[in-house]
């Protein structure tokens, strides 16, 4: 099996089009189509369905895609191990840190500690609202992640680490008193809120809490970038309800006097460490896992 065909197949799937993949790989489209045909002949299965909208994987294609990710990662790891034989750990490790959570505050520390302890490891960090980390773990595109939820999801192993309490953060112009006592969710009826998109765990947890208390959730804008959220709250464009770690960041970055209070009934989400339950971690990935769990334990403490 020519591993170049596997790499080409991954690029076709990720780009969603043979034409775009050919441009990325700097190959003529007919040559790339021949590679795909050879791969399908090798497996004796149709791997992709072509349409005007692009390509979609068949069930067989999904299986090949997952194994292709694993095979290519193992090839990269073999090269790294050979190059670093007798020296320090080396190789590429992909980690997902879910935004709008304590996990998102660990990225720089994780990078710094990994560089300090294992300079030969190439750390790939992902912080994206729009990508489904569990799917990336199942397909081999990511080796580990900190995400909200406790599962179960077939193909993914969850290890709950800590619970995150949610806090309201608002500009003083919204007339919410500064107090350590929780603010009642019912008192937030119609308050203009800045929140992540509807498919985000934080948003869903807030929607559930408002629904249970029969309180009107007024979302005036959906923001996927914490820095933008910080600036918008700072200017009084809306309030927000976030896990404590993000609420603390908004307060720290503010030039204004913001109010930060817990809410009642309590809103919380579980942050879990997740890996594929089918693919064992490489030695460099185990080293990164140890650092990540160590940093998360500090948050819990």
Q: Note whether 139 and 235 are same-domain residues.
A: yes
Q: Note whether 35 and 177 are same-domain residues.
A: no
Which tokens is 271 given?
């942050």
Q: Note whether 172 and 99 are same-domain residues.
A: yes
Q: pLDDT tens digit string along 88-144?
A: 778 889 999 988 888 888 999 999 999 999 998 999 998 875 567 787 887 778 899
The predicted model scores a pTM of: 0.67
Residue 179: give the domain boundaries: 89-301
Cβ atoms within 10 A of the Cβ of 285, count?
23
Work out how many domains the chain is built from and give that number.
Answer: 2
Q: What is the DSSP string of 242-276?
A: EEHHHHHHHHHH-SS-EEEEEEES--EEEEEEEEE
Q: Reduced to 3 states, what is the DSSP secondary structure of residue 286? A: helix
CA distance 11 to 107: 27
pLDDT value of position 129: 59
The CATH number of whichever domain residue 239 belongs to comes to 3.40.190.290
Whole-number average pLDDT of the chain: 87
Q: Is the pLDDT of residue 250 over 80?
A: yes
Q: Is the pLDDT of residue 63 over 80?
A: yes
Q: Note whether 28 and 173 are same-domain residues.
A: no
Cβ atoms within 10 A of the Cβ of 256, count?
12
Q: Indicate whether 80 belongs to any domain.
A: no
Question: 14: number of CA atoms within 13 Å, CB side?
Answer: 19
Q: Note whether 32 and 128 are same-domain residues.
A: no
Which tokens is 132 given?
């489904």
Q: Note whether 166 and 46 are same-domain residues.
A: no
pLDDT-above-90 percentage for the chain: 41
Q: pLDDT tens digit string along 194-210?
A: 999 888 888 999 999 99
CB 102 within 8 A of CB 243: yes
pLDDT value of position 205: 92
Q: Is the pLDDT of residue 87 over 70?
A: no
CB 267 within 8 A of CB 165: yes
Judge if the upstream peptide bond of residue 265 is cis by omega within 30 degrees of 0: yes
The mean per-residue pLDDT over the stretch 213-228 comes to 92
Q: Which of 55-59, 148-152, 216-220 has the highest mean pLDDT?
A: 216-220
pLDDT value of position 130: 53
CA 235 from chain centre, in angstroms, equals: 28
């Amino acid at each position: 099996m020519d591993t170049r065909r596997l790499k080409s197949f991954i690029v076709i799937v990720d780009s969603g089009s043979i034409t775009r993949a050919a441009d990325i790989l700097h190959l003529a489209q007919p040559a790339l189509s021949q590679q795909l045909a050879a791969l399908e002949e090798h497996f004796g299965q149709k791997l992709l369905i072509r349409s005007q909208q692009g390509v979609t994987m068949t069930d067989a294609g999904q299986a090949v895609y997952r194994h292709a990710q694993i095979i290519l990662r193992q090839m990269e790891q073999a090269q790294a191990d050979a190059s670093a034989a007798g020296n320090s750990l080396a190789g590429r490790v992909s980690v997902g840190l879910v935004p709008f959570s304590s996990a998102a505050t660990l990225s720089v520390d994780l990078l710094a500690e990994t560089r300090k302890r294992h300079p030969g490891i190439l750390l790939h960090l992902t912080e994206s609202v729009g990508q489904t980390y569990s799917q990336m773990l199942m397909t081999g595109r990511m080796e580990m992640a900190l995400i909200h939820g406790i599962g179960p999801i077939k193909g993914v192993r969850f290890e709950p680490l800590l619970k995150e309490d949610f806090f309201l953060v608002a500009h003083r112009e919204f007339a919410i008193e500064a107090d350590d006592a929780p603010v009642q969710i019912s008192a937030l009826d119609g308050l203009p809120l800045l929140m992540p998109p509807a498919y985000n765990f934080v948003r869903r947890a807030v929607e559930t809490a408002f629904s249970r208390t029969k309180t009107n959730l007024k979302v005036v804008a959906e923001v996927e970038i914490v820095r933008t959220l910080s600036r918008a709250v700072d200017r009084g464009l809306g309030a927000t309800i976030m896990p404590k770690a993000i609420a603390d960041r908004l307060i720290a970055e503010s030039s204004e006097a913001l109010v930060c209070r817990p809410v009642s009934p309590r809103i919380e989400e579980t942050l879990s460490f997740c890996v594929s339950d089918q693919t064992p971690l490489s030695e460099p990935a185990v080293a990164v896992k140890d650092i990540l769990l160590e940093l998360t334990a500090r948050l819990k403490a």
